[in-house]
Amino acid sequence: MASPSVSRSPAGRTLRRRPQLSDDVAVHVRNLIMSGGVRPGDFIRLDETAADLGVSVTPVREALLTLRGEGLVELVPHRGYVVAPLSRDDIHDLFWLQGQIAEELAVRASRSATPEAVEELTAINEKLRRAVQDGDADRIEDLEFSFHRVINRLADASKLSWFLLSATRYTPVQFYSSDPAWGESAVESHRRLIAGLADGKADVVGAENKAHFIDGAQRLVAHLDEVGIWD
């Protein structure tokens, strides 16, 4: 049986060429691993991956070195890189960390939310609603990022925001952006969060932002169960 290749990305995109190309490859493979596109024990071949993504072998090799440092792949001598074990607890731990940070950022944001900020968030969420309705995955990803960037900006906590950004590297965004049910849920969650900001209810805003990540973990674990990633 041929080894799985990275061409099974749900996005099916050709990566842009730029100096940070190895980072782009790492994002692609990381999302593939976290969404179950490749499974623990599967080999990720340098040449196949490079051909699938339309890049040279060098950025793929650099990306796999990065992912090895993160514990997502392991190097098997004389055979190459293999996807490392991934457990349900790993998923819950990653999203728990994201949720804890996101809750604190939202609480801090509630203290400095202005009518202008509420209006900005409302406008972004309306664009997100239309993108979900249209099934525009790229637009959904951009708008979801923009929405939470406004929250993080209001929180005025650059270090916490950086840690959250680092933790969300392990969130397979394409898995969520391609799921209409998640998109509708995200829009409704944002509406409740915006209402909490408008009313100055820090506890409501914090709990809502945290719940958004808990929901993400539950959806991903259910998906990985369904595809039999732990069989």
**10 falls within a domain:** no
In the chain, the number of structural domains is: 2
Are 110 and 215 in a shared domain?
yes
Nearest alpha-carbon partner for 202 in 58, 114, 105, 78: 105
Nearest alpha-carbon partner for 34 in 161, 219, 231, 207: 219
Angle, helix 57-69 to helix 21-34, in steps of 10 degrees: 60
CATH of the domain at 96: 1.20.120.530
Phi/psi of residue 200, nearest 5 degrees:
70, 30
Are 93 and 76 in a shared domain?
no
Indicate the residue among 58, 81, 104 that finishes a domain. Answer: 81
CATH of the domain at 59: 1.10.10.10
180-227 pLDDT, tens digit each: 999 999 999 999 999 999 999 999 999 999 999 999 999 999 999 999
Q: Is the pLDDT assigned to residue 127 strictly greater than 90?
A: yes
Quote the domain boundaries for residue 141: 86-225
| pTM summary value | 0.85
50-100 pLDDT, tens digit each: 999 999 999 999 999 999 999 999 999 989 999 999 999 999 999 999 999
**Residue 230: what pLDDT?**
83
**49 falls within a domain:** yes
Q: What is the mean pLDDT of residues 34-59?
A: 94
